[in-house]
Amino acid sequence: MVKKEQITDLFFDLDHTLWDFEKNSALTFEKVFKEESILLDLEAFVSAYQPINKAYWKAYRENKIDHESLQFQRLKDTFAKIDVEVSSQKIQTMATTYLSYLSSFPYLIQGTLPLLKALQPHYKLHIITNGFEQVQHHKLKNSGIAPFFDKVVTAEKAGYKKPHPQIFKHALEASQVSADQALMIGDSFEADIEGSLQMGFQAIHFNVHNEPLHTHCPIVTSLEEIQPLLI
């Protein structure tokens, strides 16, 4: 149960929580492949890409790879998985192009705008994201939700990735709020929920990936379920 009477500041994850990563990513790949004249089944590519991308992001969070390796290897492995031959040079080009185009697509998770509009009069809203600094700010701007947020804390700027305690500490200091007044909302139990709870935040788990159930905090499967918990 959320103890909403002591909460003043809400911290959101961005990708998969507010910004519709799957839809925007698929549209980006469609554009990139068309430019590069690569013929393939987009649905098959995306289906193979999603678990590979998730695994590489986990390795990135754990500092096992750098972001250049993340961008390149996730594409290389996906092409190998669906048995499409693409040169390393072309993969590198597409990795760069993909990242530059990705933030231009504006689609949000259903319920994002009504939730932010409902919450803004009652709380200060912030972002804590493991995404890249410039890309994440472009996503916020191009999707029209940048004005809702007071502070945007990226792992690239903070120097630490969720679930490392330091990125949450950095977010609290930037927002000038104590952990017992803060609540984190995110889709990843490991990165968003465990990390924030260990720092003394409250949390709401937006469990859109069918992660294992738990009793650490309230679990929701749609953004519409969040407002009644907080207002």
Q: What is the pLDDT of residues 170-215, one digit of tens each?
A: 999 999 999 999 999 999 999 999 999 999 999 999 999 999 999 9
Same domain? For 114 and 61 the reply is: no
Same domain? For 134 and 98 the reply is: no
Same domain? For 141 and 223 the reply is: yes
Among 72, 102, 132, give the residue marking a domain's end: 102
Q: What is the CATH number of the domain that holds 161?
A: 3.40.50.1000
* Residue whose structure tokens are 């995404």: 131
Whether the pLDDT of residue 1 is over 90: the answer is no
Q: Tell me, what's the pLDDT at 201?
A: 98
Question: What does the pLDDT average to over 121-132?
Answer: 96
CA atoms of 31 and 33, how far apart (whole Å): 6
Q: pTM here?
A: 0.92
Beta carbons of 136 and 153 less than 8 angstroms apart: no
Q: What is the pLDDT of residues 58-107, one digit of tens each?
A: 999 999 999 899 999 999 999 999 999 999 999 999 999 999 999 999 99
Structural domain for 59, as ranges = 21-102
Average pLDDT score, the chain = 96
The total number of structural domains that make up the chain:
2
Q: Tell me, what's the pLDDT at 192?
A: 97
Among 57, 78, 102, give the residue marking a domain's end: 102
Q: Angle at which helices 67-81 and 42-61 pack, to 10 degrees?
A: 150
Same domain? For 146 and 191 the reply is: yes
CA atoms of 51 and 38, how far apart (whole Å): 22
Q: What is the pLDDT of residues 142-168, one digit of tens each?
A: 999 999 999 999 999 999 999 999 999
Same domain? For 85 and 128 the reply is: no
